[in-house]
Amino acid sequence: MTADLFDDVEQPWVEPLEDGAQVLRRFASARAPALLDAIIRVTEQAPLRQMKTPGGHTMSAAMACCGTWGWVTDRKGYRYQQTDPLTDKRWPGMPEILRALAREAAEQAGYPDFEPDACLINRYLPGAKMALHQDKDETDFSQPIVSVSLGSPIVFQFGGDRRSDRPRKVPLEHGDVVVWGGPSRLRYHGVLTLKPFDHPLTGACRYNLTFRRAG
Ligand SMILES: O=C(O)CCC(=O)C(=O)O
Ligand SMILES: [Fe+2]
């Protein structure tokens, strides 16, 4: 047995989810260390923070953004804006390695013209979750959502067009990428509570990168 057998990353494979939606298993695994480096660099400029919902609840996931547009929430509502409310500066640019990954994943899933201008970075620690919601603050629903999982595994929920539709449970692991668009673009989705885990690259934490065309 040679040493590089231990370094081998799994070959990616595709799992259809719904019409217009796919899970690209391990699509991001090989470049995960570089993606995590890029996340660290972005969050040095735009710190991760737990934002408040319009209803006054503090979100359990900590968030930061890069790209032209960043998604924010506060007592005034949900919206995209070009500046970080913490620093009043423009969001850090989207690192090329992130943009390239999002474009390649979208193309693989059948969306060859994806031009993301927003990347939301979600950091979950054990106990954090995200309730079922639609991504609908964007202007152009012809562009898909590309959602990348890094670090600790979690259960993703992929529901219907109504909140009351029972969601499918999709376990996601490090390197998995979910793409949804076309007829699935406005599906309700979320993640269940993150369980304690010790990932070799991120420890207890899970990062999610959500790429969108916002503007
Ligand atoms: O963490 C995830 O996998 C989902 C994140 C999400 O849906 C969002 O940020 O809108
Ligand atoms: Fe979402």
Longest Cα pair distance anywhere in the chain, in angstroms? 59
- Of the candidates 140, 44, 188, 125, which has an alpha carbon nearest to the alpha carbon of residue 66? 44
Q: For residue 187, tell me if it sits in a domain.
A: yes
Please tell me whether 137 is known to bind a ligand: yes
CATH number of the domain to which 184 belongs: 2.60.120.590
Residue 119 CA, ligand 1 centroid: distance in Å: 11
Q: For residue 143, tell me if it sits in a domain.
A: yes
Q: For residue 190, tell me if it sits in a domain.
A: yes
Residue 205 CA, ligand 1 centroid: distance in Å: 14
Residue 212 CA, ligand 2 centroid: distance in Å: 10
| Domains identified in the chain, total number | 1
Q: What is the pLDDT of residues 108-133, one digit of tens each?
A: 999 999 999 999 999 999 999 999 99
Please tell me whether 80 is known to bind a ligand: yes
Q: For residue 96, tell me if it sits in a domain.
A: yes
Question: 126 is written with which tokens?
Answer: 């054990």
Q: Determine phi and psi for 30, rounding to 5 degrees.
A: -60, -35
Q: What is the pLDDT of residues 80-89, one digit of tens each?
A: 999 999 999 9
Domain of 76 in residue numbering reads as 14-212
Determine which helix (DSSP H) or strand (DSSP E) holds 102, and give its type and residue range. helix 96-108
Q: For residue 7, tell me if it sits in a domain.
A: no
Q: What is the pLDDT of residues 41-96, one digit of tens each?
A: 999 999 999 999 999 999 999 999 999 999 999 999 999 999 999 999 999 999 99
